[in-house]
Amino acid sequence: MEKVIFQDLGRIGYRQAWALQQSLHDAMKERKIANRRAGISDFHQDHYLLFCEHDPVYTLGKSGSEDHLLLKEGEAESKGFEFFKINRGGDITYHGPGQVVAYPILDLDRFFTDVHKYVRTLEEVVIRMLAEYEIEAGRIDGYTGVWLKGARQRKICALGVHLSRWVTMHGFALNVNTQLNHFNHIVPCGIQEESKEVTSMERELGRPISQEEVKNKLKRHFSELFEFQYSEVVAVRD
């Protein structure tokens, strides 16, 4: 069974977290390439699961449109938001306080080499965790992420990933106690349908939710669904 190093980074700027992800991702790829060139198939590979909470930021995926940022040039910064174009899939989204952001950095050669299955498994981690709060969540055909269905379809978790040589980076952002009006400055995920909106666990349950409790539940579902054990676990802070 593979072992995964877990770390809760706490509140961290997006640029710093992105640099850490990229560093770990590159090291895993280089280890894989070096061992394969040496003809070594049975080698140790580190995997990581990072949790964090970002300062307010908008990120635009490589397939997204800058028109989906509804603020004028320089206005995002003046309102306290950073903006980054990044290499994950998907369109524009928001990260900020009150979210739980998960960045799995896994060598899928040690799990399964199926991008579709990987995305669906990340969604399933969130779906199973939400079920513990009696929030019935699922998927919508043609869209990534985790949704709640009803008169209006509400997106509670955005997802975007990047893979190179089957090593993953980026992940998902789950709205727990998120300030939802910050999504008003963008077209979230590029979706412009009036029947769809963004929600949070706090909005759905009518009360603030312990993010530490959510993290611990997500950790458990990650290990169960991907069938790994944690190694060198840094405890989630109280």
Q: How would you classify residue 223: left for phi > 0, otherwise alpha for psi between -120 and 50, otherwise beta? A: alpha
Amino acid at position 236, single letter? V
| Residue 157 is a catalytic residue | no
Q: Do the Cβ atoms of 185 and 72 come closer than 8 Å?
A: no
For residue 154, which of 216, 218, 205 has the smallest C-alpha distance? Answer: 205
Cα–Cα distance for residue pair 227/221, rounded to 1 Å: 9
Task: Name the H helices within the chain.
Answer: 14-37, 75-78, 115-131, 201-205, 211-226
Which residue in 189, 201, 214, 218 is the catalytic one? Answer: 189
Cα–Cα distance for residue pair 204/133, rounded to 1 Å: 10
Element (H, E) at 3: strand 3-12
Q: Which residues are catalytic?
A: 189
